[in-house]
Amino acid sequence: MDGFIGRRSELAHLDDLMDKVRSGSRTGRPGRALLVRGRRRVGKSRLVEEFLERSRLTTSPNELVHGWR
């Protein structure tokens, strides 16, 4: 996606978590749950979309992320 600005530290943190998932972490079992929180309209969905694109994952954000109120 074009025009993504900032959030370098957040993307780096997501990259670190993805590396742990890919390596199986300490338990040898892949997988991890992650909650992205923030006020409305601060770019949570956009951050996840950018992360997925940069990670070259074949999963859509809707398959990975569920929200609740």
Residue 52 forms part of a structural domain: yes
> Is 10 within a domain?
yes
pLDDT of res. 57: 72
In a domain, 69, yes or no: yes
Q: What does DSSP assign to residue 24?
A: T
CA-to-CA distance for 23 and 11, rounded, in angstroms? 18
Please compute the mean of the pLDDT values over residues 9-23 and round it to a whole number. 85
pTM summary value: 0.66
- As given in the structure block, the two tokens for residue 51 are 């992360």
Q: pLDDT of 33-62, one tens digit each?
A: 778 888 999 888 888 888 888 888 766 555
How far apart (Å, rounded) are the C-alpha atoms in residues 67 and 9? 23
Q: How confident is the model at residue 1 (pLDDT cuts 50, 70, 90)?
A: very low
**34 found inside a domain:** no
Expressed as residue numbers, the domain containing 22 is 1-26+39-69
Provide the domain count of the chain: 1
The reported pLDDT for the residue numbered 34 is 78
